[in-house]
Amino acid sequence: MKILVPIKRVVDYNVRVRVKSDGSGVETEGVKMSINPFDEIALEEALRIKEAGTAEEVVVCSIGGKDCQQQLRTGLAMGADRAIHVTTDSAVQPLAAARIFLKLIEQESPGMVFLGKQAIDDDNSQTGQMLAALWDRPQATFASKVELSDGKAKVTREVDAGLETLEVDLPAVLTVDLRLNEPRFVKLPDIMKAKRKPLDEIALDDLGVEASAQLEVTAYEPPPTRSGGRILESAQELVDELKNKGLL
């Protein structure tokens, strides 16, 4: 079985993102960029499945400008076998991304596609579900546990009410939640080795997918801020304050 893992280059988890003063976007100049943390967990899970002998090959792919090859190289250093870079300088929204990944699925015929449950930049949480719809295959989103046997995946999902377990026939699309695993650290020799692993470039135009944006972003603004309140001296004072506000 082959596993396809789409990864997205995003502003690093630890960066405190700020809206540009002219409202044209968020500040990304000189900011640390990383693999979307949920995608990193997706890749880790794919690698563990390969190491357990259930998959033969893990392919990472990404859509974007030249820079996203840094994240693909990181994916290769983690242990992916090959990388595919779909090159474009346009911003790609989830439906277009799903259409692009479907083209890669047609070329690669994976048994599973693992994605993060959302990207921490746009927080959309759409691409995996859309891909499963277009591919007409099962989806198991927000996975916190995955067990494979006989061409099926048993997936525990984190849902509103608690934990739901679905069984899906493969091929299927899985999106992963934080508690699925802890991704490995990349070691220096692996980074060196990753430089020699294949990384293919495909121009978006050659895939015959229209990447035109469906939703137009017209403005960015900082969120309204909560101002900090007061530090009180005692539990009694707190109870009095809350009673005064009619909250107790």
Partner 1 sequence: MARVLIIAQHEDGALNPATAKTLSGAKSLGIDDIDIAVFAESGAGVAQQASRLAGVTRVLMIEHADFAHPTAARLAPEIKALADGYSHILGPSTTFGRDLMPRAAALIGVGQVSDVQEVLDSHTFKRPIYAGNAIVTVKAPEDRTVVATIRSASYSAVAEGDSACDIETREAAASDPGHTRLVNLETGGGDGPDLQTADRVVSGGRAMGSSDGFDVIYSFAKKLGAAVGASRAAVDAGYVPNELQVGQTGKIIAPELYFAIGISGAIQHLTGIKDAGTIVAINKDAEAPIFEVADYGLVGDLFEIVPELEKLI
Q: Segment 45-104, which members bind partner 1 (CB under 8 A)? A: 93-95, 98
Closest to partner 1 by CB, 65 or 151: 151
Closest to partner 1 by CB, 120 or 199: 120
CB of 220 to partner 1, least distance (A): 5
Closest CA to 38 of 138, 111, 139, 119: 119
CB of 81 to partner 1, least distance (A): 27
Residues in the chain: 248
Residue type, 129: Q
Among residues 12, 57, 81, 121, the one that binds partner 1 under rule CB under 8 A? 121
Secondary structure element (H or E) that encloses residue 61, with its range = strand 57-64
Closest to partner 1 by CB, 57 or 183: 183
Looking at residues 174 to 203 of the shown chain, list those that interact with partner 1 (rule: CB under 8 A): 177-179
CB of 201 to partner 1, least distance (A): 26
Looking at residues 10 to 29 of the shown chain, list those that interact with partner 1 (rule: CB under 8 A): 11, 16-19, 26
Tokens 């047609």 belong to which residue? 106
Q: Which CA distances in Å does 162 have to 26, 104, 128? A: 35, 34, 21
Closest to partner 1 by CB, 108 or 121: 121
What are phi and psi for residue 240, nearest 5 degrees?
A: -60, -45
Looking at residues 209 to 248 of the shown chain, list those that interact with partner 1 (rule: CB under 8 A): 213-223, 226, 228-232, 234-236, 238-239, 241-242, 245, 247-248
32 binds partner 1 (CB under 8 A): no
Among residues 79, 111, 114, 142, the one that binds partner 1 under rule CB under 8 A? 142
Instruction: Report the SS3 class of residue 51.
Output: helix
Closest to partner 1 by CB, 76 or 207: 207
Distance CA 88, CA 62 (A): 10
Distance CA 115, CA 101 (A): 11
Q: Give every CB contact of residue 65 below 8 A, 6+ residues apart in sequence.
A: 87, 88, 89
